[in-house]
Amino acid sequence: GESVGLHLPTLSVQEGDNSIINCAYSNSASDYFIWYKQESGKGPQFIIDIRSNMDKRQGQRVTVLLNKTVKHLSLQIAATQPGDSAVYFCAENNGSNDYKLSFGAGTTVTVRA
């Protein structure tokens, strides 16, 4: 079936380095994507979103890239900090009007001091 998934389940990064988290999706009708950060025992926290009519969007220390040709989404975190350690989920809306999101499996990011 169609799904949103991640290339790697875990990522270990040195503090201060840049992190890149990848996500693959298979639904070509998806027109909206979100990245969430979830810390242990907490609910997901919105990081950044992007619509399918864009290929790049920047926030504070984060950049989301969307490649619709290969159905690939990535989240780049600049100068990764210990507080960035968490599970990161990509989510997509399939273009329907019900506003439902489908979540990927999640990538666990661990920042090494």
Partner 1 sequence: GAVVSQHPSWVICKSGTSVKIECRSLDFQATTMFWYRQFPKQSLMLMATSNEGSKATYEQGVEKDKFLINHASLTLSTLTVTSAHPEDSSFYICSARTGGVNIQYFGAGTRLSVL
Residues that bind partner 1 (CB under 8 A): 32, 34, 36, 41-46, 49, 89, 93, 98-106
Minimum distance, C-beta of residue 46 to partner 1, in the bound complex (Å): 6
3-state secondary structure of 83: helix
In terms of Cβ atoms closer than 10 Å to its own Cβ (0-12, 13-18, 19+), residue 48 is: middle
Nearer to partner 1, 51 or 56 (CB): 51
Spatial separation of the C-alpha atoms in residues 42 and 95, rounded to whole Å: 28
Nearer to partner 1, 97 or 113 (CB): 97
Block residue for tokens 């926290």? 45
Minimum distance, C-beta of residue 79 to partner 1, in the bound complex (Å): 25
- CA proximity to 11, closest of 88, 73, 105, 113: 88
Minimum distance, C-beta of residue 99 to partner 1, in the bound complex (Å): 6
Nearer to partner 1, 43 or 113 (CB): 43
